[in-house]
């Protein structure tokens, strides 16, 4: 069995599964089963919206007790309706769903949107019913959105397979177009409403609910390929399938569409609430962070942040590194903005000396650094504003953040400020003008018209600009390459390897071992010690003993072959008394090492993402501060270097406080090797940990001092019904 590595298809190769979603998201005809004549009821709204917005396909209300529904001819049952229907909406009680699905199949319908709730979100009983729904849909080749969904709509195609309440007001069309995919119906509707209030052009909304069939990642992939979507916004409670999720992220990156995601359930309390709400497994939060980072998706912490970032993206202008100039009318605001920028990793490079000189002449009392303090003097001499902005543009800043507070409403300065901003907007359309200001709608409007980004709170402006810089970085580099793992050995399933065997596996993965010997007798041990020729350690080797030192199975710094022989003799006698039944495979005689930095390299067998590499440094850093970083396996050496640099403690490797710099390239090679071994055995690897992995000074490599490998059947090894359409 091949490990679960996401294939990155070539541009032309859109998976067939994605195209099968067209019937859901671009239906040419829709049957509404259980259609209501009341346009405000759940089963009435899709018809009302279709009529209001001018859906161009056919709508077939199915209702046994009415001849018309909202003025459309109704059909007593699906059988009576015309053939060739693309998509059916089911809004019936749970007990009728399976039968209705079969009727859909009989009618040749390929797509169903199942509004009904009362399935897996209720627990065990509902889960069984939902599995039956999934089976029925799959047996008949039906793609199914739901159950427990609000549905989906696409404004520019005028398709409304949804009862989303927000559509009762007028939708703002526009560009760039936003595709919103949410696992939660309620929260999806909320973000949608907020986006509309901000005037953001949401063109598509899809809620995936319980995901009995169509999953979040598939919808992302579909939106990535859809001409109607420029920016993808997502709301995640828990992802069900790694492959489709990564494929969705990769597709969006390939199409250069920014992805802005919220993933809730970050904390234990949150995860508990998530588990009671959906049937999804909430993956460990750090691992989501690592995956999203790797695939270039922006993770927002709140809907406010989602919308701020999307709003900034909507300006359609990138923020290149070190090109942001800041001008304020208050030194205090400048200090704050500098603080925020520093925390967000956004550089504010100082202007060249000539520009500083020019700025000093413009405002002698101000500050010519970046942020430039134009001071409150601007209300006496409004010309300061234009002169400052021109100086910054001349110096090459092509993104300007202005903190103007209430100044745009100032009687003297308001006009000149507006004219300057409008002039720059007209002559330098490449320049992004972001303004932190306060004032009523009439003051704000001209700046909106000029294409400025407006934020009241400078913190939020900085956060949004940092997101633009993030995406600029994301799209300037390819997604990480996954190295080939076919050459790696396949482990035996269901085995606890002893230390010596575990280390042999590491050696196959290219991880250096100490110059140690596995011995059986005191005499062999003395001989090994003699050949090593310096102080040694002796460790018992047994797959049945996990904590060797707890049972007296470790002895350090033995200086003479006699002491080594005596130690082995003592262990061979004492350990079987302490751990009756443990099979002792022998003893390792290893040279004592000095001068290394101890690291831990582990593999976490994540039930969703499969083998995930963990790296950390030094005992307390891992144990107390949890200073560790994660990355999906397999990694190449560049990916491993990135992983190493993401822990705070990595400074210990680079010659910290007079210590010699450690052999970081060798460490990266070792991590990459271990990651390939882990990926090759994704379906069976339960635990792999090298602790400590000792990193020697530059040029001297690394040594795996201890290792644990355990195999079994991972969750990934179970056949997943989610993958048949991947």
- Out of 156, 330, 521, 720, the only residue in the binding site for its own copies (CB under 8 A) is 330
Question: Scanning residues 379 to 418, which ones bind its own copies (CB under 8 A)?
Answer: 379, 405-406, 410-411
For residue 627, the minimal CB distance to its own copies (Å) is: 6
CB atoms within 10 A of CB 630: 23
Residues 6 or more apart in contact with residue 48 via CB below 8 angstroms? 39, 40, 70
Q: What are the Cα distances from residue 365, in Å, to 180, 331, 336, 372?
A: 48, 11, 19, 11
Question: Scanning residues 162 to 181, which ones bind its own copies (CB under 8 A)?
Answer: 165-166
Instruction: Give the count of residues interacting with its own copies (CB under 8 A).
Output: 87
For residue 277, the minimal CB distance to its own copies (Å) is: 3
What's CA 318's distance to the chain center, in Å? 21
Residue 559 binds its own copies (CB under 8 A)? no
For residue 315, the minimal CB distance to its own copies (Å) is: 22
Residue 274 binds its own copies (CB under 8 A)? yes
Residue 339 binds its own copies (CB under 8 A)? yes
Binding flags for its own copies, 207-236, as an x/- string (CB under 8 A)? ----------------------------x-
Question: Scanning residues 422 to 451, which ones bind its own copies (CB under 8 A)?
Answer: 438
User: Do strands 707-711 and 685-695 pair parallel, antiparallel, or not at all (unpaired)?
Assistant: antiparallel
User: What φ, ψ does residue 647 adopt, rounded to 5°?
Assistant: -90, 145
Instruction: Say if residues 615 and 638 touch (Cβ distance below 8 Å).
Output: no
> Closest CB to its own copies among 88 and 262?
262
End-to-end CA gap in the chain: 16
Question: Scanning residues 571 to 600, which ones bind its own copies (CB under 8 A)?
Answer: none
For residue 617, the minimal CB distance to its own copies (Å) is: 8
> Closest CB to its own copies among 343 and 490?
343
- Out of 89, 251, 312, 333, the only residue in the binding site for its own copies (CB under 8 A) is 333
Residues 6 or more apart in contact with residue 709 via CB below 8 angstroms? 491, 496, 497, 501, 502, 505, 685, 687, 688
Instruction: Say if residues 328 and 373 touch (Cβ distance below 8 Å).
Output: yes
Helix (H, G, I), strand (E, B) or coil at 614: strand
> Closest CB to its own copies among 15 and 34?
34
Question: Scanning residues 299 to 318, which ones bind its own copies (CB under 8 A)?
Answer: 301-304
For residue 302, the minimal CB distance to its own copies (Å) is: 4
Tell me the residue ranges of DSSP E strands in 485-575: 517-519, 536-541, 554-558
- Out of 1, 7, 19, 40, the only residue in the binding site for its own copies (CB under 8 A) is 40
Stretch of 267-275, 445-453, 691-699, 704-712 lying at the interface with its own copies (CB under 8 A): 267-275
Question: Scanning residues 615 to 634, which ones bind its own copies (CB under 8 A)?
Answer: 618, 620-621, 623-625, 627
Question: Scanning residues 231 to 250, which ones bind its own copies (CB under 8 A)?
Answer: 235, 237
> Closest CB to its own copies among 541 and 652?
652
3-state secondary structure string across 157-179:
CCEEEECCHHHHCCCCCCCCCEE
Find, among 134, 140, 175, 141, the residue nearest to 155 by Cα.
Answer: 175
Residue 706 to residue 381: CA distance in whole angstroms: 72
Question: Scanning residues 642 to 701, which ones bind its own copies (CB under 8 A)?
Answer: 648-649, 651-652, 656-657
């Amino acid at each position: 069995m091949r490990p679960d590595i996401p294939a990155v298809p070539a541009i032309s190769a859109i998976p067939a599964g994605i195209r099968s979603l067209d019937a859901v998201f671009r239906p040419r005809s829709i049957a509404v089963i259980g259609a209501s004549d009341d346009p405000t009821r759940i089963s009435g709204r899709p018809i009302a919206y279709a009529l209001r917005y001018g859906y161009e396909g056919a709508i077939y209300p199915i209702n046994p007790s009415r001849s018309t529904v909202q003025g459309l001819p109704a059909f007593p049952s699906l059988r009576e309706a015309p053939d060739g229907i693309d998509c059916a909406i089911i809004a019936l009680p749970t007990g009728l769903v399976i039968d209705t699905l079969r009727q859909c199949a009989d009618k040749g319908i390929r797509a169903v949107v199942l509004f009904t709730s009362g399935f897996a979100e209720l627990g065990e009983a509902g889960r069984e019913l939902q599995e039956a729904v999934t089976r029925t849909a799959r047996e008949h080749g039906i793609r199914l959105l739901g159950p427990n969904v609000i549905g989906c709509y696409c404004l520019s195609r005028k398709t409304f397979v949804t009862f989303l309440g927000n559509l009762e007001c007028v939708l703002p069309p526009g560009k760039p177009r936003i595709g919103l995919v949410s696992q939660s119906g309620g929260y999806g509707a909320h973000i949608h409403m907020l986006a509309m209030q901000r005037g953001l052009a949401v063109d598509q909304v899809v809620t995936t609910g319980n995901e009995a069939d169509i999953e979040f990642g598939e919808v992302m992939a579909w939106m990535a390929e859809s001409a109607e979507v420029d920016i993808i916004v997502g709301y995640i409670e828990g992802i069900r399938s790694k492959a489709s999720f990564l494929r969705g992220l990769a597709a969006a990156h390939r199409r250069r569409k920014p992805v802005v995601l919220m993933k809730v359930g970050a904390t234990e309390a949150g995860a508990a609430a998530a588990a009671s709400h959906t049937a999804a497994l909430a993956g460990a939060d750090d691992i989501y962070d690592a995956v999203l980072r790797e695939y270039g998706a922006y993770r927002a912490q709140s809907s406010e942040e989602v919308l701020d970032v999307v709003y900034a993206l909507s300006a359609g202008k990138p923020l290149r590194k070190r090109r942001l100039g800041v001008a304020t009318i208050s030194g205090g605001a400048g200090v704050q903005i500098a603080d925020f920028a520093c925390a967000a990793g956004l550089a504010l490079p100082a202007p060249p000396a000539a520009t500083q000189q020019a700025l000093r002449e413009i405002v002698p009392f101000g500050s010519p650094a970046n942020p430039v303090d134009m001071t409150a003097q601007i209300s006496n001499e409004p010309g300061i504003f234009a002169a400052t902005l021109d100086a910054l543009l001349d110096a090459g800043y092509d993104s300007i953040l202005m903190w103007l507070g209430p100044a745009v409403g100032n009687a003297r300065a308001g006009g000149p400020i507006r004219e300057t901003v409008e002039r720059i907007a007209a002559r330098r359309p490449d320049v992004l003008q972001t303004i932190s200001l306060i004032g009523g709608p009439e003051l704000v409007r001209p700046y909106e018209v000029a294409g400025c980004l407006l934020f009241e709170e400078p913190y939020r402006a900085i956060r949004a600009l940092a997101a633009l810089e993030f995406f600029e970085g994301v799209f300037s580099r390819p997604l990480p390459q996954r190295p080939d793992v076919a050459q790696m050995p396949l482990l035996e399933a269901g085995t606890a390897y002893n230390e010596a065997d575990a280390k042999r596996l590491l050696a196959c993965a290219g991880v250096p071992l100490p110059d140690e010997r596995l011995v059986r007798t005191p005499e062999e041990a003395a001989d090994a010690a003699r050949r090593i020729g310096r102080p040694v350690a002796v460790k018992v080797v047994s797959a049945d003993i996990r904590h060797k030192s707890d049972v007296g199975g470790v002895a350090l710094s033995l200086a003479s072959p006699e002491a080594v022989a005596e130690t082995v003799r003592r262990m061979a006698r004492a350990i079987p008394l302490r751990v009756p039944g443990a099979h002792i495979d022998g003893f390792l005689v290893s040279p004592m090492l000095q001068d290394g930095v101890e690291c831990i390299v582990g593999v976490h067998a994540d039930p969703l993402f499969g083998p995930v590499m963990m790296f950390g440094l030094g005992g307390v850093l891992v144990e107390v501060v949890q200073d560790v970083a994660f990355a999906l396996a397999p990694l190449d050496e560049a990916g491993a270097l990135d992983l190493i640099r993401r822990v705070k403690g990595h400074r210990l490797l680079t010659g910290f406080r007079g210590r010699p710099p450690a052999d970081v390239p060798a460490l990266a090679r070792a991590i990459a090797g271990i990651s390939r071994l882990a990926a090759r055995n994704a379906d069976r690897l339960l635990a792999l940990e090298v602790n400590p992995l000792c990193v020697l000074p530059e040029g001297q490599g690394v040594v795996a001092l201890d290792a644990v490998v355990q195999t079994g059947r991972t969750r990934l090894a179970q056949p997943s019904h989610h993958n048949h359409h991947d």
